[in-house]
Structure 1
Amino acid sequence: MRDRDRRAWDTPELGRRGSCAGGVNTPTDQPLLVRKARVSDAPRLRQLGILGWETTYTDFIRPENRAAYLSGAFWSIETLSRVIVGPENLALVAEHPQSGVIGFLTIEPYAPDRRKLELTRFYVHPDWRRSGVGSLLLDAALEQIKHLHASALMVNVFARNAVGRAFYERAGFHLVDIVPVMVGDQIDDDAWYELPLDGDKQAHTPG
C-alpha cells in the first residue's frame, strides 16, 4: 500500500459500541465493544474460524477437506498472531461482557494490487449471527479504512455461500469475478467482491 498512514491502526480501544437485538444472549443493557485484537486473542480467533467453517460449509466442502484447510498455516496461532501485530494489517474483535470475543475480522494488503486492501477473515460465532455483530465490525473497519489511501476493499467468499454473498452485496460490495479454487482435493468456486473506498461512494453496512 503506497504511503499508507500506519497511525490509523494505533488505537487499540476503538470505543465503538452497539447493542445487537435478535441474537442469542444479547441483553441491550450490555453493549458490545469493538476493539483492536491482541495476540492473546489468537486462540479464540482460530476457534471462531473453525466454528464458522464447521457450521457454514458442511453442505459442499467434504469433512476431510475442511480439516485439511483448518489445520494449515492460514489458521495457525502463529499466523494469526503475525496478522494481529502486523503494522500494515487491521484486526478487530467484537467483545461481549459475559461471552467474550464473539466475532472478528482481519484486513491485510491485497497482494495483486497494493493500492487495495483485502478482508481476509470475517467470522461471527454461530449463536450471534443475524444479530448485527457483523455489521458492527464492518462499520468499525470501514471507519478505520477511510483514513487510508486504499482504493478498494476486496473479499472472496464461496460462490455457493448465499448468505455470505447477500451480506456483502447489501453492504455495497459488487461482484468482480468468479474463479475456481482448490479446497483439499476438491474444486469449488470463489466469488470475488470489491467495495470502492473513494470517499462519497463508500457504502454503509446493512443494519
Structure 2
Amino acid sequence: MKETDIEAIQHIAAISWHATYEGIIPRDIQKPFLQQAYSVERLKERLVNTNFYVAVKDDEVVGYANFSALHDNDEVELAAIYVLPSEQGKGIGSQLLTHGINELSPRAIYLNVEKENLVGRQFYEAKGFEITDSFEEPFFGHTLKTLTYRKVFTSSCL
C-alpha cells in the first residue's frame, strides 16, 4: 500500500463492510467504526507500522489485506482482508492472503471473524484455518459474537 491508496482503501472498506455485515452489524454501528479505523491518520499509522497490501486490477485498487506482528514475531494477525463485492470470488482474497504468507513467513496466523459472517468463515476454513476461541465483545454499543481462527505453518507448508 502507498499513501496514495488511502482513498481507495476507505472506499473498499465502506462498501465491503456494508455488504459483509448487512443484517449482522447495524449501519449506525458500522459508521463510527469505519470513520475511526479508516481515517486518513489511522491508515497512515497502519501503513508505517503494519504490513498493508493492496490488490490492483486495471490500475484500480480492488482489495486489501492488513497483517500485524504479534508479541511473538513468528506469529501475525490478519487484521483485515476485504475485496470489493464485484470482485469477490475471483481469487483476489486468496492472492492477498498468499502474498502476506509468502512475505511474512509466519509460524502462525490468527484472525477474528464475526460468527454470523458465513462467507468469511467459509473462506478461512477452506484455507485451513481452525477455530481456537469464541467470545462476545462490545463494539460501539453493539455486541459482536467473535470467533478466533488460527493456522499454523510448518517449514514444508511455506
> Is 1:84 aligned to 2:47, yes or no?
yes
Q: CA RMSD in A?
A: 1.6
- Equivalent of 2:67, from 107, 113, 119? 107
Query: Is structure 2 residue 104 aligned with structure 1 residue 145?
Result: yes
Deviation at 1:114? 4.8
1:69 maps to which of 30, 33, 36: 33
Richer in helix (by share): 2
Aligned length in residues: 158
Give the letter aligned to residue 196 of structure 1.
Answer: V
Q: Distance in 2 between matches of 1:145 and 1:196?
A: 13
Gaps of 5+ in 1: 1-36, 203-207
Please say if 1:95 is aligned against 2:51.
Answer: no
Secondary structure at the counterpart of residue 194 of structure 1: strand
Picking from 187, 191, 198, the partner of 2:143 is 187
1:131-185 CA-partner distances (Å, limit 9, x unpaired): 1111111111111122xxx421111110110110010011111110111122221
Tell me what 2:10 maps to. 46
| 4+ residue segments displaced more than 6 Å | none
Q: What SS does the aligned partner of 1:49 have?
A: helix
- Give the CA deviation at 1:189: 0.7
1:99-178 matches, cutoff 5 A: 100-110=60-70, 113-146=72-105, 150-178=106-134
Question: AA paired with 1:38?
Answer: K
* Counterparts of 2:54 and 2:144, CA distance in 1: 29
1:104-139 Cα shifts (integer Å, max 9, x gaps): 10111225x554211111110010011111111111
Query: 2-side partners of 1:171 and 1:81: how far apart?
Result: 30
Tell me the distance in 1 between the aligned counterparts of 2:38 and 2:146.
19
Alpha-carbon offset, residue 201 of structure 1: 4.2
Letter in 2 for 1:79: R
- For residues 162 and 47 of structure 1, the distance between their equivalents in structure 2, rounded to whole angstroms, comes to 23
- Return the offset for 1:50: 1.0
Gaps of 5+ in 2: none
Identity of aligned residues (%): 25
Alpha-carbon distance, 1:85 to partner: 2.4
Q: Is the 8 A contact 1:110 1:154 kept in 2?
A: no
